[in-house]
Structure 1
Amino acid sequence: MNSHGALVITPFILFAFFEIISLWPSAIFAYYTGQSEDAYPIIIVALGFFCLLCGFSLIRRLRRNRFNYRSPKTFLYLHIELPFSITRCSIGIILTFLFLLGISLYHYRGIPPVSSSFMASFGLHGSGTDLLMQESRKILTKDHLFGGAYRGQGLISSFMYVGWPFLLAVSLAIYYKTKKRSWLLTSILFLFFTFIFVAGDGTRAPFLYAIIYLVVVISMFKRLKMRFLFILSVFLIVMTIVLSIITGRLDEEEWSIKDALQKTAERVALDNGMDTIYVIEFVRSGVLDYQYGAINLQKAILALPGTAGGQPFSHRLSFLLGKRSTTSFASTTYLATIFIDFGIIGVVLFYLMFGCVFGLAQQLLYNVKKNASNACSGRICYLLFG
């Protein structure tokens, strides 16, 4: 797409980027280290990505006359001249803030554990805060699946993961429109709340996704330069290391910068991807049988309020991989879910469908002029797509 030299992040770019960094290194690493019998996992990963490209290209070609590809600047960027009520938006922000603050305090039963762990990790490291943080994370994220009390896990956390970054993005959009210092201070305040409540249980991914969402919104305001993207990459790496230290995922011997970077790179580039490769190999060897949609159905049930659905497949996978904790999960990418449910045919059909959906979503989300409100809500939608 010709965007006049600017980088505008789309659902397709997001999905393709995460596919590349989460699956390609793992598939290649497993092949060259002998953890895969042959190049079959590489073929599966490449086939899925190829079908994704085909689906996206097909939709773009079929609907090229319905989208103004020759002058996308008319639609891609936030238009400050569109009618926009600051007063009504301010009221909406206040009401949303009170709602999010209420459910967040209810979910954590007060102040999130990450705040106390943050101070202890850099002042009193080794005082037992790591164990407390790990126990709190278990209670807040998956204790209800092992007989514990249901505290809105899944439902409330989803509201928090989406709501706080949304408020931050809207306040930044209004600041971009008005250039008032009060909205800049409001954005800084919402950034603080986003960190405290989104990363409150010590889980790293939701906060990093929130930052990525913020960058997606910023790409609607101004051109993203390579310098900005480099600084962003460094910031994400630093935040990953900081959250790893806070949550006790980095041991004392890993506190050197070199070891911390190496450990973080392994977890980002290999962890979920390697578990995905293991699922492919387990299905090939007969250790796991095809589930014919059962895993997808269970994921849908687990997303609903309550404790229905049972223990997720990732818990069973952790036992197959020999993990010691009785409550540990071995998370995979969605490719593993598709493969264990429907095999290689499912990979082809699903990824072809993903490409088509991303092509349609890109047309729908960009073929409209934007203001500070619909730009941020639209970016939430396609971040969920991506």
Structure 2
Amino acid sequence: MAKQAALRELEAEDIEDIRQRLKEFVRPFQEVLVREEQRRHLAAYVEGRLLPLQRRTGEPIATQSGVKARPLQHFVGQGKWADEAVREVMADLIAEKMGSRRGVLILDASGIQKYGDDSVGVQRQWCGRLGKEERCQVGEFLAYASQGSVALVDARLYLPKGWAEDAQRRDKCQVPAEVEFRTGWQLALEMVKGLGQRVPHAWVVGDDSYGRPCALRDGLHEAGERYVLEVPGKAKVRRVRGGGWTTAKGWADSLPAGAWAAYSGDGEHPFQLKPPTRCATSFTPPPVPENSRSSRTWPQEHRTRGCAREATRAGVHCVRGAHSTCSGDAHAGRACPA
């Protein structure tokens, strides 16, 4: 992998042709739109989102761009155009510009605080950005990290069950009839198996909200994905080759000290994992890039086909291998038995 260019201050010549470059960037997206006015609205809206406006919403953008507000607002909110096709273009551009076989797909959710009642999916729920329960919308996101850069590949709005079953609210907010209730991990798996396949990658990673549901790990395994997912230290696991149930933390702590080797990459602020990161895998881990900003500890000799784990802080991460055996309840979306 080529070394990253040294960081420097942004200079005037770096942005002198930025408007033209923006037009060139938008052009592939315009090509999937059927009508000419849709193409104009797309260009105006994208540029408007980058303008130094106090509010970068439809009406201020239209005023600044010299176009009528209502048609632009209709294009963004109710216009009929192929959202999936636009997302595919974005994924293909990401693969072209920063694709690498050692890329990583990142699963994450984020909440956006809302004060009204009419935003689709809004209710009092956990808002990660605020670190507490609050009235918000929640989105599931799929990002791609490669060659020192990160880009958003796909996103899904989480529609709570109460919303999904409320015909009146769905009709008022124009929720499409085909949209049904999906848990966060189900949306995540759909994105990995969808647009995630358009970008080359070696791993799928996520926190414990994705590591807890056994069905998600099963789905990734069945799709041939290698993954690193956090699970609680108290989660019950057992080796596929046999043996009784134990906790993930107990399993990791039982491995001999000589089974581990540490790999540290260069970086201005490399992070250290305490206790050391641990994995037991049925495959040989890939080498760590020279310019990696992370520290990793991988097992050298202790290899099983059991659930591979990576312990950090109070939790343990699952890595692809045969996964822990869980009850039917877990496959319905609940966590492994604790």
Bigger helix share: 1
Q: TM-score, normalised by structure 2?
A: 0.28
Flag the structure with larger Rg. 2
The structure with the greater share of residues assigned to strand is 2
Q: Could you say which structure has the greater relative contact order, defined with CA pairs below 8 angstroms and 6 or more residues apart?
A: 1
